[in-house]
Amino acid sequence: MRKRARWFGMAFLVLVGFVVMPSVASPQSSVVVHVHTHAPVVALTFDDGPSSTYTPIVLDILQRYGAHATFFVIGKEAEQHPQLLREIVASHNEIGNHTYSHRVLTHASPEKVAYELGQCDRVVFEATRVHPTLFRPVEGFYDAPLTQRCAQMGYRLVLWNHDSVDWSRPSVAAIVSRTTKNVRPGDVLLFHDGGGDRSRTVAALPHVISVLEAEGFSCVTVGELLRNQQDRPAWWPYFRP
């Protein structure tokens, strides 16, 4: 009877190893929406900056709370504010590529994609000596050729799974609610620090960070979130370090 139980146990482990595991331990997706992790970390992301009005306020708030974020900058805006790019990097935040002229790149020619990503990269590198490795497509639109081209150019394509919808200027309470409700480890939150009046975004941000901190989360960059990625579930003891 004990022998039978042992065989059953072994058969179960083999089944888990060969059937279940590949499905949960699939290779890293080239599109990041959420990161699988058990660490209590979430990423804050800001699109469409840098803005001389709002980016310094966001950086101030982040510093005050010991939080960090990824800024997906528009190359043309960044070109006007190289000092802000340097401040983002100096304060241990992160810069991502959001195209040079805020163009949707689905159905775009390879040359257009190379131009839009390449020119934004040039602006960021000239100011900071850092090449971005994360790309956020404008309005979140992407297709297979764009994903492939991004990968060839060394970028991870980063979307989000909590949208503040702050571009529509909702109430501060609505921004806080959308970005703190049902948040799980590895989630990616979307805000905007450029492209319009972002006074409600910066008014909401301290509340967002406070609520998340009270729930035990640390707010980090997307790069840091990816470094916390765990491909296998915690209950699988064999592969645990």
Give the residue with the Cβ less far from Zn ion, 59 or 138: 138
CB of 205 to Zn ion, least distance (A): 18
Closest CA to 117 of 135, 130, 141: 135
CB of 48 to Zn ion, least distance (A): 4
DSSP 8-state assignment for residue 154:
T
Query: Residues 120-139: x/- map of binding to Zn ion (CB under 5 A)?
Result: ------------------x-
- Using CB under 5 A, which of 35, 37, 48, 88 touches Zn ion? 48
Tokens of 3: 């022998």
Measured between alpha carbons, how far is 4 from 81 in angstroms, rounded to an integer? 70
Residue 193 binding Zn ion, by CB under 5 A = no
Contact (CB, 8 A) for 52 and 28: no
Closest CA to 185 of 3, 48, 36, 6: 36
CA angle at residue 52 from 51 to 56, to 5 degrees? 90
CB of 194 to Zn ion, least distance (A): 8
Just list the catalytic residues.
Answer: 47, 192
Give the residue with the Cβ less far from Zn ion, 47 or 94: 47
CB of 16 to Zn ion, least distance (A): 42
Give the residue with the Cβ less far from Zn ion, 80 or 210: 80
Residue 94 binding Zn ion, by CB under 5 A = no
218: part of which helix (H) or strand (E)?
strand 218-220
